[in-house]
Structures are given as C-alpha cells and as structure tokens.
Amino acid sequence: MTSDFEPPYWAVIFTSKRTSGQDREYDDTAARMERLAEQIPGYLGIESARGPDRLGITVSYWATLEAIESWREHPDHIEAKSRGRSDWYDWYELRIARVDRAVTSHPGQEP
C-alpha cells in the first residue's frame, strides 16, 4: 500500500485459516473483492499474506469507520463472506483498529 496518508486512520485485520481445495475460485473472489473495495470512498489500501500453513492475514486500511461500514454492507461482499464462512475458512478473526502511529522504511514510496 502507499504510505502517503497520516494517522489516525482505520485498519481491518482479518486473520484466517484456509480450508484446502477450491483455490482458483477463492483466489478469483479475493481479487474481485479487492477491486470492489478500491471503489469504496475512504479506502486507503490493502496488504495480504498467506503462508504454506494456510494461515493468512489481510489488513485493509480506511479513512473512516463509515467507509468500513459501506464495505461491510456491499452486497457482493456479503455474498463472498457467506461463501467464506461455509467453504473457504476453517476459522477467522476480524478486528477493527484505529491506527495512531505509523513508521515506514520507505517514506513516500509505494512498496
């Protein structure tokens, strides 16, 4: 993500354990959700990593809680979340946090 914005802003920390299988459909949906989220006013960026143990962490960043709420209520997102719960995740944790401080090794640069 870019580091061009200053705290405070908001982070949605989504930690999940993927089930095995259905990688293609999951990957397609994840990519589509990312493109949709980018269109929500107040979206700032996203970072995502998943290791070979299938544990993944995705952090999305938002200017306001209202922007997070808009994304939470998007019909396509609601549908994807339902698939996630039934098919794609063994378990997940979702946290909403206010970012108060940010430090970067590449000021002003996009990774």
- By the criterion CB under 8 A, which residues form the site for its own copies? 1, 3, 7, 11, 13, 15, 17, 47-51, 55-59, 85, 89, 91-106, 109, 111
Query: What's phi and psi for 61, nearest 5 deg?
Result: -120, 140
Q: Which is nearer to its own copies, 23 or 39 (CB)?
A: 23
The alpha carbon of residue 105 and the mean position of all alpha carbons in its chain are separated, in whole angstroms, by 22
Q: Which is nearer to its own copies, 76 or 94 (CB)?
A: 94
Helix (H) or strand (E) holding 80: helix 75-83
Instruction: Write down the least CB distance from residue 29 to its own copies, Å.
Output: 17
Instruction: Write down the least CB distance from residue 42 to its own copies, Å.
Output: 17
Angle, alpha carbons 8-108-49 (nearest 5°): 75
Q: Which is nearer to its own copies, 32 or 98 (CB)?
A: 98
Instruction: Write down the least CB distance from residue 99 to its own copies, Å.
Output: 4
Instruction: Write down the least CB distance from residue 66 to its own copies, Å.
Output: 14
The amino acid at residue 34 is: E
* Sheet hosting strand 9-18, strand order edge to edge: 9-18, 55-62, 43-50
